[in-house]
Amino acid sequence: MLQTAFYFGHTIRMHTHQHTADYEAGRNQMLPNTPRRAVYAGSFDPPTLGHLWMIRQAQSMFDELIVAIGINPDKRSTYTVAERQDMLCDITKMFPNVRTDVFENRFLVHYAREVDAGFIVRGIRSASDYEYERSMRHINSDLAPEISTVFLMPPREIAEVSSTMVKGLVGPEGWTETIHRYVPQAVYEKILAEHQHEN
């Protein structure tokens, strides 16, 4: 299956069935002794199989991937920051080049600069996602032109999976079997434990 990442300024064509990737190198990639570090940010409330797919793909493309929880004080979260970070640590422990972090009250591109990341990774699930992320890419370029944006397109079977969707499925009869399809095992167990505690 051909999966395409739109890397602004250049193009990355990922052929997962051949386990190869063709890179037109950006600034960090052209310097052989410079680690290529990327940031993948989100609320991860909770992490889903869509998030895990993004992490798996991104960590294979870069020397280091920072999975960062962005805290929005105006957005009510179901899980605490500590709980979300624990879940992320559980589902990424098989990737030695992945670490988790938290940032608050600053633009993602400024956070990326603070951690010396040359790339921001974003997922594109729909045409509306693309339009929004393209606009954000232009803003990010104005704020930090040295940081590039990489767009990854998840496969169709998980393209519509989101944290909001998963939380909306909790409750009705048969919900446990249903959400099991959309979240990693460690997250599934956390959701079950949380629901049992509430009841």
Q: Is 160 annotated among the ligand-binding residues?
A: yes
Predicted confidence (pLDDT) at residue 85 exceeds the cutoff of 90: yes
Predicted confidence (pLDDT) at residue 4 exceeds the cutoff of 60: no
Q: Is 64 annotated among the ligand-binding residues?
A: no
pLDDT the model gives residue 161: 92
Q: Is 162 annotated among the ligand-binding residues?
A: yes
Predicted confidence (pLDDT) at residue 153 exceeds the cutoff of 90: yes
b/e map 128-163, b = 16+ CB within 10 Å? eeeeebeebbeebbeebeebbbbbbbbeeebbebbb
Closest CA to 165 of 45, 41, 85, 43: 45
pLDDT the model gives residue 174: 86
In this structure, the strands spanning 119-123 and 37-42 are parallel
Tell me the per-residue pLDDT of 12-71, one tens digit each, with 9 for 90 and over: 434 333 333 333 334 344 345 556 999 999 999 999 999 999 999 999 999 999 999 999
- Tell me the C-alpha distance between 180 and 109, whole Å: 33
- What single-letter DSSP state applies at residue 39? E
Q: Is 107 annotated among the ligand-binding residues?
A: no
Q: Is 158 annotated among the ligand-binding residues?
A: yes
pLDDT the model gives residue 199: 60
Residues 6+ apart with CB under 8 A from 112: 39, 119, 120, 144, 147
pLDDT the model gives residue 13: 38
Q: Is 51 annotated among the ligand-binding residues?
A: yes
What are the domain boundaries of the chain? Answer: 2-198
Q: Is 43 annotated among the ligand-binding residues?
A: yes
Q: Is 26 annotated among the ligand-binding residues?
A: no
Write down the residue that tokens 């002794």 correspond to: 33
Q: Is 91 annotated among the ligand-binding residues?
A: no
Q: Is 164 annotated among the ligand-binding residues?
A: yes
pLDDT the model gives residue 42: 96
Q: Is 13 annotated among the ligand-binding residues?
A: no
pLDDT the model gives residue 8: 40
Give me the CATH code for the 2-198 domain, please: 3.40.50.620
Q: Is 123 annotated among the ligand-binding residues?
A: yes
Alpha helices in the chain (DSSP H): 27-30, 49-61, 81-92, 108-114, 127-143, 163-169, 175-179, 185-198
Tell me the per-residue pLDDT of 86-139, one tens digit each, with 9 for 90 and over: 999 999 999 999 999 999 989 999 999 999 999 999 999 888 888 999 899 999
Is the full-model pTM beyond 0.75? yes
